[in-house]
Chains A and B, each alone.
Chain A
């Protein structure tokens, strides 16, 4: 880990236009931490989905809000915390919905948290006291097979 500090944080405007920048940041951090390309891409997608949820649900598309991203790069894992000050909502408590159900209901949403869960090793939600909510997403570094 040479370029990025092992711990850090940034704030970005909570708008869909920030998502490409967020993905670049996360992919860079994941590579820096030594995650394989597949795991790095999965973490990139999980964080993108979390931030898109914040923009659409926590802030309901309001402009002028921010998303906080904090990271810690450990020898065996990368953890990204996505923080907002919008409406508290624990999507981790929702059951996964079947694709067929979403399709018959003609819904365009409903897959985000399922993707986050599937692509992460650990997902935790915390909320306040105070106006903050945080989704913590952890991705472990795969150990090389001995041999």
Chain B
């Protein structure tokens, strides 16, 4: 069954932007996510919480969007934190070593709490 991809952006707590993703994030749909993140950065919003609860699939093209943006986001004093990934997707993030670079947290509130506490990861040395 096809799972059309969508990204919805909303203001969250602690000055965050919440990007709510749903559907299959692959090489066809990753440009939509790229544009959504770029739009947040262009608007000066760089505290990003990615809510992945609705994601049904993610390929390297989708993962590449997070990889490609995170250094720039941190340079601007922000961060990109991911939450609510389905176990199947979380396994892929773990396999590739994402937890060493990104905060992957259980829910939106945990991500916002990290931002509120000023817990921003630094750029990779």
Q: Which of A20, A99, A106 is B96 in contact with, Cβ under 8 Å?
A: A99
Whether a CB of chain B sits under 8 angstroms from the CB of A45 is yes
Task: Contact check, B67 vs A102: say whether CB atoms are below 8 A apart.
Answer: yes
B interface footprint on A40-74 (CB within 8 Å = 1, 0 otherwise): 01000100110010011000000000000000000
Chain B residues, CB < 8 A from A56: 27
Task: Contact check, B26 vs A52: say whether CB atoms are below 8 A apart.
Answer: yes
| Size band of the interface chain B makes with A | 20 to 34
Whether a CB of chain B sits under 8 angstroms from the CB of A144 is no
Q: Which of A17, A48, A104, A114 is B124 in contact with, Cβ under 8 Å?
A: A104
The answer for the CA separation of A41 and B88 in the assembled complex, in Å, is 9
Task: Contact check, A106 vs B64: say whether CB atoms are below 8 A apart.
Answer: no
Smallest Cβ distance from A27 to chain B, in angstroms? 10
Task: Contact check, B101 vs A99: say whether CB atoms are below 8 A apart.
Answer: yes
Given that A20-B26, A52-B59, A118-B95 are known contacts, is A108 also in contact with B100, CB under 8 Å in the complex? no
The answer for the CA separation of A110 and B100 in the assembled complex, in Å, is 17
The answer for the CA separation of A114 and B96 in the assembled complex, in Å, is 8
Task: Contact check, A100 vs B124: say whether CB atoms are below 8 A apart.
Answer: yes
Q: Which of A19, A52, A98, A104 is B71 in contact with, Cβ under 8 Å?
A: A104
Task: Contact check, B101 vs A55: say whether CB atoms are below 8 A apart.
Answer: no
Task: Contact check, B68 vs A107: say whether CB atoms are below 8 A apart.
Answer: yes
Whether a CB of chain B sits under 8 angstroms from the CB of A115 is yes
Whether a CB of chain B sits under 8 angstroms from the CB of A83 is no
Which partner residue on chain B sits nearest A52 by CB separation?
Answer: B27
Q: Which residues of B contact A (CB under 8 A)?
A: 1-2, 24, 26-28, 57, 59-61, 63-65, 67-68, 70-72, 88, 92, 95-98, 100-101, 123-124
Q: Which residues of A contact B (CB under 8 A)?
A: 16-17, 19-20, 23-24, 38, 41, 45, 48-49, 52, 55-56, 98-100, 102-104, 106-112, 114-115, 118
- Across the A-B interface, the 7 shortest Cβ-Cβ residue pairs: A108-B64, A16-B28, A111-B60, A108-B68, A52-B27, A99-B97, A112-B60
In the complex, given contacts A107-B67, A111-B67, what are 18 additional A-B residue pairs having Cβ atoms less than 8 angstroms apart? Answer: A19-B27, A19-B28, A19-B59, A20-B26, A24-B2, A49-B60, A55-B27, A99-B67, A100-B100, A103-B70, A103-B124, A104-B124, A108-B61, A108-B67, A109-B64, A115-B60, A115-B92, A115-B96
What would be 13 A-B contacts, judged by CB atoms less than 8 Å apart?
A16-B27, A20-B2, A23-B26, A45-B92, A49-B59, A99-B67, A99-B100, A106-B71, A108-B61, A108-B67, A108-B68, A111-B64, A112-B60
